[in-house]
Chain A
Amino acid sequence: MMYIIVLAFYLLFTIWSSVKSLKNTESISDFTTGGHRMGLLLGIGTTTATWVSVASVLGVPGYLYSSGVAAIIGWVAGWCLGGALIPLVAYKIRRPETPVRTFPEFIHLRYEPYKQNSPLRMIVGILMTIGYFLLVHIQVVGFGIVFETITGIDYKIAIFAFLIFLLFTSIGGFWSVAATDTLNTVLIVIGVVLGSGAVLAATGGLQNIVDTLSTTTAPTIAGGPPLEQGILLSPLGTFSLSALISIFISNSLGSPASPHWVTRMLAPKNIKVAILQIMGTIGVLLFIMGPLIILGLGAKALLPSLPAGKTTDYIVPLIIQDYAPPLVGAMTLVALCAAAVSTANSMLLTAGTTLYYDVYLGIFSKKVSDKDFNKRLRLIIFVLGFLAVISAIKPPWFLAMGFVYVYGGFGAAFFLAVFLGLYWKRMNAAGAYAGILIGSVGYVVSKAMGASNPFLIAAGISLIGVILAVYTTKKPPIEAYEPYFEEKVSKSTDRVLSSVINRSEGA
């Protein structure tokens, strides 16, 4: 009962903040990036909440439980390094006086500024829509697992309940997402700290957890093969060295080139606020990841093996249900739900915006008013959210590993196009086509062939492709790179910028 009451309060707040934000949304820029005027505190709130997804709150403790402290290197440190690199994107992408509004728009301006409809922009838009749809799907699955385990309500009903949260927080656009995210960050911190406190109390403290991990051989799933003694405390855990490197690199190099992080760097007031926002977020994450590590490792001491038929994604809800007092359990439940909602709404907004603004309006070359834009985008968000819930009825993936695949794919496809585009004047459209196409296809093919490090293989061959393409084709026009290298741009660059940015406005 306590769970339902706390969750009902959370739902009410979500609806209230969403309705309030609807009134603040006026222009296309407001809807997509908050009009490039977000302050530091709200920025830290929304960045932290977007960062902490179900892959963090369920997947990471799950891997800590099954593979040991190696999960700290693969996911926690991997994401942290990825976060550390995001300011390098902010430092350049926010230089123009009129910043772009979406990631594909940046690709358009940087590589095909003279084309009114950029094919590369559409390719990027389609790849992004697929990737973000999968990430929203993962959040839906995570929410369903938490809700079903703790409340006993059927998983299929739970995921449709999630649709309500998702739609309310997404249809208000960027400000709705940012407002609910900031509350979600507070709830996540409180929930995981209380949850880890309950686990510490139940296990008798950190030393007992470490002692158990050093001696246990209990299989992860009841009836499975026993673990090697001490393996859970070794840096590699149950992973091979190449598998752990692959996870670390996918998470670290995939994050800064992931379009939603690039888009997030367009929302703050200026470059410095964007950089401080990431530094602040990494500080706040200490208070989330630390408790999650205790939850994952402590779970092994409390429940040596999972019941047959359950995946490691279930470990946190199972432990909370059995060992936390009702109020603590309810707060942790809300934290887990908040993590799913706050990541899913950002990604749904990104997927919807990309599909409508960058792909649809690009193909049909239409001009729309701000009012029509917002209305149609809300409809697309609703349809994508609904499809994500339908697709989650039979989930195929482990949550944290699903994130690795998508982040790895984003990194392989976009890393060179983003970083070389921002830091190398000679990078041109041919190089971007080569990097994005070879990187994305290379990643999928090497993954399908069972390569242990598909990201490195794809990034390696796409780098060769980029260098060959760049040096065998013409230099880019000054209008393509000037905004990211100079404080003041020439009149011709200014004209090109305005023409692309305003291509869909003014009906």
Chain B
Amino acid sequence: MVTALLIWLGTMIFSFVLGTYLCMRIEKSGVKRWGATGKIFKYK
């Protein structure tokens, strides 16, 4: 049971890491149309 739950947890962590990385890439691009606001999790 622990193995199954850990695999689920692992996929969730992967999701947040990948999402954060992509948000960072958007900020680095500076393109407002893509959602760049100056702060990584801030959106308009």
Q: In the complex the two chains form, what is the Cα distance from A88 to B26 in whole Å?
A: 12
Partner among A69, A269, A270, A487 whose Cβ is within 8 Å of the Cβ of B4:
A69
Chain B residue numbers with a CB within 8 Å of A72 are 4-5, 7-8
In the bound complex, do residue B11 and residue A276 qualify as a contact, i.e. CB atoms below 8 Å apart? no
The digit string for B1-14, where 1 denotes a CB below 8 A from any CB of A, is 10111011011101
Asked, given contacts A88-B22, A91-B22, A94-B34, whether A279 binds B15 with beta carbons under 8 Å apart, the answer is yes
Chain B residue numbers with a CB within 8 Å of A276 are 19, 23, 41, 43
Within 8 A of A (CB), among B12-43: 12, 14-16, 18-19, 22-23, 25-26, 29, 31, 33-37, 41, 43
Write the nearest CB–CB distance from B21 to chain A, whole angstroms.
9
**Size of the chain B interface, CB-CB below 8 angstroms:** 28
Would you call the interface of chain A mostly helix, strand, loop, or mixed? helix
In the bound complex, do residue A97 and residue B23 qualify as a contact, i.e. CB atoms below 8 Å apart? no
Write the nearest CB–CB distance from A237 to chain B, whole angstroms.
9
A40 part of interface (Cβ distance < 8 Å): yes
The digit string for A27-57, where 1 denotes a CB below 8 A from any CB of B, is 0000000000000100000000000000000
In the bound complex, do residue A80 and residue B1 qualify as a contact, i.e. CB atoms below 8 Å apart? no
In the bound complex, do residue B19 and residue A87 qualify as a contact, i.e. CB atoms below 8 Å apart? yes
In the bound complex, do residue A210 and residue B26 qualify as a contact, i.e. CB atoms below 8 Å apart? no
A447 part of interface (Cβ distance < 8 Å): no
Residue of A nearest to B7 (CB): A77
Residue of B nearest to A252 (CB): B11
In the bound complex, do residue B4 and residue A279 qualify as a contact, i.e. CB atoms below 8 Å apart? no
Chain B residue numbers with a CB within 8 Å of A85 are 18
Residue of A84, A273, A282 contacting most chain B CB atoms (<10 Å):
A84
In the bound complex, do residue B22 and residue A270 qualify as a contact, i.e. CB atoms below 8 Å apart? no
Asked, given contacts A273-B35, A276-B43, whether A77 binds B15 with beta carbons under 8 Å apart, the answer is no
Residue of A40, A80, A83, A272 contacting most chain B CB atoms (<10 Å):
A272
In the bound complex, do residue B8 and residue A272 qualify as a contact, i.e. CB atoms below 8 Å apart? no
In the bound complex, do residue B15 and residue A272 qualify as a contact, i.e. CB atoms below 8 Å apart? no
Partner among A87, A94, A273 whose Cβ is within 8 Å of the Cβ of B18:
A87
Asked, given contacts A88-B18, A279-B19, whether A81 binds B11 with beta carbons under 8 Å apart, the answer is yes
In the bound complex, do residue B15 and residue A271 qualify as a contact, i.e. CB atoms below 8 Å apart? no
Chain A residue numbers with a CB within 8 Å of B31 are 487
Chain B residue numbers with a CB within 8 Å of A91 are 22, 25-26
In the bound complex, do residue B22 and residue A87 qualify as a contact, i.e. CB atoms below 8 Å apart? yes
Write the nearest CB–CB distance from A209 to chain B, whole angstroms.
10
Would you call the interface of chain B mostly helix, strand, loop, or mixed? helix
Asked, given contacts A235-B3, A272-B43, A487-B31, whether A84 binds B23 with beta carbons under 8 Å apart, the answer is no
A503 part of interface (Cβ distance < 8 Å): no
In the bound complex, do residue A286 and residue B12 qualify as a contact, i.e. CB atoms below 8 Å apart? yes
**Size of the chain A interface, CB-CB below 8 angstroms:** 36
Chain B residue numbers with a CB within 8 Å of A286 are 12
Chain A residue numbers with a CB within 8 Å of B3 are 73, 235
Asked, given contacts A272-B23, A275-B19, whether A84 binds B11 with beta carbons under 8 Å apart, the answer is yes
A278 part of interface (Cβ distance < 8 Å): yes
In the bound complex, do residue B23 and residue A69 qualify as a contact, i.e. CB atoms below 8 Å apart? no
Chain A residue numbers with a CB within 8 Å of B1 are 69, 210, 233
Residue of B nearest to A280 (CB): B19
Q: In the complex the two chains form, what is the Cα distance from A80 to B4 in whole Å?
A: 13
Write the nearest CB–CB distance from A232 to chain B, whole angstroms.
9
A95 part of interface (Cβ distance < 8 Å): yes
Chain A residue numbers with a CB within 8 Å of B11 are 77, 80-81, 84, 252
A188 part of interface (Cβ distance < 8 Å): no
Q: In the complex the two chains form, what is the Cα distance from A273 to B23 in whole Å?
A: 9
Chain B residue numbers with a CB within 8 Å of A388 are none
Within 8 A of B (CB), among A244-283: 252, 269-273, 275-276, 278-279, 282
Write the nearest CB–CB distance from A349 to chain B, whole angstroms.
25
A70 part of interface (Cβ distance < 8 Å): yes
In the bound complex, do residue A76 and residue B8 qualify as a contact, i.e. CB atoms below 8 Å apart? yes
Partner among B5, B14, B26 whose Cβ is within 8 Å of the Cβ of A84:
B14
Chain B residue numbers with a CB within 8 Å of A90 are 22
In the bound complex, do residue B12 and residue A270 qualify as a contact, i.e. CB atoms below 8 Å apart? no
In the bound complex, do residue B16 and residue A81 qualify as a contact, i.e. CB atoms below 8 Å apart? no
Chain A residue numbers with a CB within 8 Å of B44 are 269-270
Chain A residue numbers with a CB within 8 Å of B4 are 69-70, 72-73, 77, 235
In the bound complex, do residue A272 and residue B14 qualify as a contact, i.e. CB atoms below 8 Å apart? no
Since A210-B1, A275-B23 are in contact, a sample of 13 more A-B pairs with Cβ atoms closer than 8 Å, ordered by chain A residue number, is A72-B5, A72-B8, A76-B8, A77-B7, A77-B10, A80-B8, A87-B19, A87-B22, A91-B25, A252-B11, A270-B44, A271-B22, A271-B34
The contact sample of 11 A-B pairs, CB cut-off 8 A, is A73-B4, A77-B7, A81-B15, A87-B18, A87-B19, A91-B26, A269-B44, A272-B23, A272-B36, A276-B23, A487-B31
Residues of A within 8 A of B (CB): 40, 69-70, 72-73, 76-77, 80-81, 83-85, 87-88, 90-91, 94-95, 97, 210, 233, 235, 252, 269-273, 275-276, 278-279, 282, 286, 289, 487
Q: Which 4 A-B pairs have the closest CB atoms?
A: A272-B35, A84-B15, A270-B35, A72-B4
